[in-house]
Amino acid sequence: MFDQVLAPEELLRRASELVPVLRGRADQTEELRRIPDESVRDLLASELHLIGVPRRFGGLDVDYGLMLEVAALLGSGCASTSWCYSLWAAHSWLVGYWPLEAQQDVFGESPDVLLSSSLNPGRSTLEKTDGGFRLSGQWEFSSGSNAASWVMVGANLPEGLVWLLLPRSDYKVVDTWFVSGLRGTGSNDIVIKDAFVPHHRGLNRDRAGGEDQNGWVVHQQGRYRLPALVLLGWDLVAPMIGIAQGMIDEYTSQLTGTSGPGRTADLDGVQLRLSQSSAELDAARALMRSDVSETLEMAQTGKAFSTLVRARLRRDKAFIAQLCLSSVNRLFEFSGGHAIFNSGAAQRFHRDIQAAVRRDGFIMEIGGLQYGRVALGLDPDGRI
């Protein structure tokens, strides 16, 4: 058993110090289409990833919400690095729901293990066999896959969706990530051909943290006293808040001290758009903090998550994503022709937020729909 103690203030200081470093590597990160090795080393040296690791295996005894604050900070410097950091930390948290034997497989030698994922079934086949499963398939969008030594993927069984853990020797990363936004995330395809997965490395997604209380029994940490799907997703929302902050910082930097004809600091339109975008970001950040704090408090006290509460939390993730999108778009639209030059950061933040909100769960017509159904007395007809 480890006993890692670092004050939240110290972790936030380390994150803040990384922001200009990551900003300076943002162009290189895009060119590589993955996180540079130096950035991976810096993240590991900072110990910020340990916020997600279970305490039992060397993780930090701090609130899970601190990881989201760190991701938002990092996102103001480099969205791709923030996206991967947040997912790596969230994946370490998720491993804590698996049987203890699987957790020891992953963290047994070091807490510095990075995992990528593709949690939907993709194009896969899964069959039960003696002692476990036989798995084949191809999965998309596995962010941070280049630096990861484990992957978690989803596959269907008659009893529901199963998440499975596999070491790097059991899968291949296929370089497919040629995209317009979040270019540096290395969100490549994962290919698995007839791999044997021991039974203890499988997890029923919909039972984890609900009917299956293994995470709570093993760790006695509040973050495991709730259904995994309730807390999952904030790890992708937090980098969007960072992107919006980065865009506001860039806009403010470019216009501060300017005056005269054109789009300059003394123009009412410039001032109004900055006010509106800043207010949207403040609202988004406040809502995320409120929801995450409520979620972790309910988990700590053992309160049940009603269907309406779960639907509201999923709605809020989508709503915050749309607030961040609006905040960035409003400033970019009023930034003039210079904003499209690669030499500036505005065009990158704009491209990155477009990519970040493409997931179905961050579109209100999908991620926000179930709340309306439940609030009107109807049963949900989608995941919450």
- Model confidence over 47-74: pLDDT tens digits? 999 999 999 999 999 999 999 999 999 9
Residue 185 has pLDDT above 90, yes or no: yes
Residue 18 has pLDDT above 80, yes or no: yes
Lowest mean pLDDT of 37-46, 257-266, 302-311, name the range: 257-266
Chain mean pLDDT for the chain: 96
Q: Which runs of E-coded beta strand occur in the chain?
A: 115-118, 123-129, 132-142, 150-157, 160-167, 172-174, 188-198, 202-204
pLDDT of residue 336: 84
169 CB contacts (<8 Å, ≥6 apart)?
Answer: none
Contact 131, 199 (CB under 8 A): yes
Domains of the chain, earliest start first: 8-107 (1.10.540.10), 115-222 (2.40.110.10), 233-375 (1.20.140.10)
Contact 263, 255 (CB under 8 A): yes
| CA–CA separation, 26 and 243 (whole Å) | 13
pLDDT of residue 261: 81
For the segment 215-220, the average pLDDT, to the nearest whole number, is 97
pLDDT of residue 263: 76
Q: E strand or H helix at 290, and its extent?
A: helix 268-301
pLDDT of residue 3: 55
For the segment 12-28, the average pLDDT, to the nearest whole number, is 98
pLDDT of residue 4: 63
Distances in Å between the Cα of 243 and the Cα atoms of 97, 143, 325, 333, 360 are: 30, 17, 9, 16, 19
pLDDT of residue 41: 98
What tokens appear for 135 in the block?
A: 């798995």
Helix-helix angle 37-46:8-24, to 10 degrees: 170
**pLDDT above 70 covers what percent of the chain?**
99
Residue 142 has pLDDT above 60, yes or no: yes
Lowest mean pLDDT of 76-80, 230-234, 263-267, 293-297, name the range: 263-267
Q: What is the pLDDT of residues 313-359, one digit of tens each?
A: 999 999 999 999 999 999 999 988 888 998 899 999 999 999 999 98
Contact 84, 143 (CB under 8 A): yes
Closest to 36 (Cα-Cα) out of 246, 184, 190, 187: 184
| CA–CA separation, 66 and 251 (whole Å) | 27
CB burial of residue 6 (10 Å; 0-12, 13-18, 19+): middle
pLDDT of residue 214: 96
| CA–CA separation, 331 and 327 (whole Å) | 7
Q: What is the pLDDT of residues 232-278, one digit of tens each?
A: 999 999 999 999 999 999 999 999 998 888 778 899 999 999 999 99
Amino acid at 207: R
Distances in Å between the Cα of 95 and the Cα atoms of 55, 66, 78, 276 are: 12, 18, 26, 40
